Amino acid sequence: MIDALDRSRTASASGWHGLLDRLRQGSELAALLEHPSDPQMRAELEKLMLMTLSQGYPMIFHSDPDHPDLVPFLNATFNSMGPNPDNVYLISAIRGEGVYRLHGNRGSVHFCVVTIGASAGTGRGIWMEDSPGACVGQTDLDAIECGPDGSFEILISRERPDGYRGNWLALDPRADHLLVRQVSYDWDNEEDAFVALDRVDKPIGLPFMTKEKIEDNMRLIGNFVLNGAKYWLDFMNTLRNEAPRNTLKITHNWDSGGLGSQVYIDGFWEIAEDEALLIETELPETARYWNFQLADALFCGIDLTNRQSSINGKQAHVDEDGKFRAVISARDPGIANWLDTGGFPQGCVVGRWLEASSSPTPAMRKVKRAELDALLPAGTPRVTPDERQAAMRRRRAAVQRHRRW
């Protein structure tokens, strides 16, 4: 029986065995780690690949550009690619020549943005063939006409139909995916938007999935896992090497699909158990939204369900001098603005200023944990262990209120 299975595998260059053979190439990605022989880091890499394999199935097997479906992309569970913890991301494949209807209800999330992407490969979808490519279309649900009850409808097509007066978004011929970002500021009270996507120039009815189509989808899943992992490992390598560790810099946009109206802040951090990082920054006079978050050395978001690994402008305490200060550390320092490393010794800090009147560059410095009391303002809010547990239980409940599946 084993011999028969082995012969079958040798004869097959596609399908399930082809996918397994392709995924085995993922071991080569360990060379991109800072410490390739570290067994913990290699295990983290394997976990990342398993996550993206799960993430890719609904994107590739369930969402078809002719029969689109907005499926979960990034969230508290699928936390690869350093997703914004305040966001729920939904994605669907589309075609640049299609005509689509995006409709639903605005909900009460802080804002909801729709972007259209064009991957840099053969147009099969994000990371299916090559790099993620550029944003080629964007609209904000607050910039369109919605009904009194929050209902909306957007026509997405190459040309605006004659006489059509409703909401319309131009569809670039290079487009191959549509991404919806729902951004919450008040996790406890804001309700998700409802969004649905249809292709209206094709009849409903997903064709039977042939053997050849299944095998091609298997190939695409392998590409999605390996190309995506390599892209972000390369990103983290660059981040580690282009600037001193434990410093922050401004990045005005990311080629990987960042919002054009958003200024990003990033830096690579590394601390020991008895150390902490103190972030200090002026705040823009006005900003639609801002936050800070932590990711690990593979650019996976640090567990936002069970760890306070992010703080946004609604959740943050701002000091009397108008500055935002936060502490990054492995152990709870007993202050409100704590960013929990989740036990990781190194990783990435990401911050965002959206539609802000200015873009301050935060300062970040490494200190001993024992020095924090002397460095923080006297009015810094303190948090007891019981208060932290209560806050984390509220956080867990809030995460579970928003769509992940």
- Strand ranges (E), 333-387: 338-340, 346-354, 363-368
Residue 107 CB coordination number (10 Å): 16
3-state SS, residue 126: coil
C-alpha triplet 398, 300, 28: angle, nearest 5°: 155
**How far apart are alpha carbons 309 and 292 in whole angstroms?**
9
Residue 361: how many other CB atoms lie within 10 Å: 14
Return left, alpha or beta for 21; rule: phi > 0 is left, psi -120 to 50 is alpha, else beta: alpha
Residue 315's region, left for phi above 0, alpha for psi from -120 to 50, else beta, is: alpha
Residues of the chain with CATH 2.60.120.1600: 243-401
Q: How far apart are CA 116 and CA 250, in angstroms?
A: 25
Tokens standing for residue 402? 């928003």
pLDDT beneath 50, residues of the chain: 1-11
In a 3-state reduction of DSSP, which class is residue 218? helix
Taken in order 157, 158, 162, 166, is the CA torsion positive or negative? positive
For domain 70-201, the CATH architecture is Sandwich (2.60)
Q: What is the pLDDT of residue 277?
A: 98
Query: CATH for 243-401, among 3.90.1570.10, 2.60.120.1600, 3.90.230.10, 3.30.70.20?
Result: 2.60.120.1600
Query: Cα(114)–Cα(156) distance, rounded to whole angstroms?
Result: 11
pLDDT of the residue at 120? 65
